[in-house]
Structure 1
Amino acid sequence: VEHGIEDKVDSIIVPTEEVIEVKNGEKKITERTLYPGYVFAHVDLDTSLWLKIQRLPKVSRFIGEGKTATPLSDADIKVILDKMENRSAPKPKIDFETGEMVRIIDGPFSNFTGMVEEFDLDHGKLKLNVSIFGRNTPVEILYTQVEKII
């Protein structure tokens, strides 16, 4: 924090969450930002501090209209903090599109390929259309059990 403004900045938050990525068949837990490009700060904002923040590299604007920042409501802040605090199991990183071909890397259908038909975001599953013995068969599988075909 720049000299002379420490007493005006209460906290700075970059909300993140843990996600599971599958690369080359290996599961890896990584952290990603919940709101890319946004930094949330609880500050005592006056004209002097506003100008100093505006001059920081890569700061393009504040949330709000014109030359004033609009404070987030207490309800919005609670939602953001709850998302950060209620970290249960890491969520799978969803990097697939409907119609995309994927390879199953784990489970009874390992090494089969299938086309993504649907997403079940709440349960971390994909519904695939897999060709088994020459017939298209719907298969429900976890995101972590498939990888993109490159």
Structure 2
Amino acid sequence: MPQPAAPVANYVPWVKSGNQLYVSGQLPLRDGVLAYTGKVGETVSVEDATQAARLCGINLLAQAKAALGSLEKVRRVVKLGAFVSSASDFTRQPVVANGASDLMVAAFGETVGRHARSAVGVNVLPLDAAVEIDAVFEIDPD
């Protein structure tokens, strides 16, 4: 599990509220370096963008582990919000988002890992990232 990234602006990486853990949007960082930049369908392939989404998912899990001490406390992946920096005619955002969705199912199994999701094309993301994903997890009550 990678070291969770520190926020780059005025926000916190996660918030616990009741039995919910909200994790701020994670970029495709690997070893602290942005691994995928540019627009999907223009300078980034669908395959690379899917790997970027998977990396965002890994970083979401790293934040959740930092917040909870253990991923064993996750009861359900409730929702992922995937933002894909897209060329104006790119429409395969759901395929890209599967990189993170498939990871959640692999990590937690069908019952816990399957989730609601949004997959949205956007004009640009922070630091020219190709993908950004946030998450909501149901967790053990404190």
TM-score interval, normalised by the smaller of the two chains: under 0.3
User: Which is greater in Rg?
Assistant: 1
TM-score, length-scaled by structure 1: 0.22
Higher relative contact order (CA 8 A, sep 6+): 2
Q: Which has the higher strand share?
A: 1
